[in-house]
Amino acid sequence: MRWYLILGSDRPGTLAARLQARSAHLERLHALQAEGRLKLAGPLPAVDAVDPGDAGFTGSAMVVAFDTIEEARSWAAADPYAAAGVFDSIAVFPFKPVLP
């Protein structure tokens, strides 16, 4: 297994769709976590606040483990946020954990 950084960028005006798809998005992440394949995941608030309110989010970041970058890309493309039209784009990068 290798680590990959997945960055999903939100389309403007998709906060309601994001909130509706959130539980399905988290379900997939919890499955990876149970398999020891999730290092971190979280949203990117549009403003510098714990709760961005109506400002919403600009995207999501996830560090996950897969055998190949192609598998990581395929998994990311099937994300509920992508299916709901929240993600405008998804980028997948090899990731090398150093700290901690």
pLDDT in tens, 69-92: 999 999 999 999 999 999 999 999
Report d(CA 52, CA 6) in Å as an integer.
Answer: 22
> What's the mean pLDDT when you consider all of the chain?
97
Percentage of residues of the chain with pLDDT beyond 70: 100
Report d(CA 58, CA 43) in Å as an integer.
Answer: 8
pLDDT at 100 over 90: no
pLDDT at 10 over 90: yes
Distance from chain centroid for Cα 12: 16
Q: What does pTM read for this prediction?
A: 0.95
Give tens-digit pLDDT for 35-73: 999 999 999 999 999 899 999 999 999 999 999 999 999
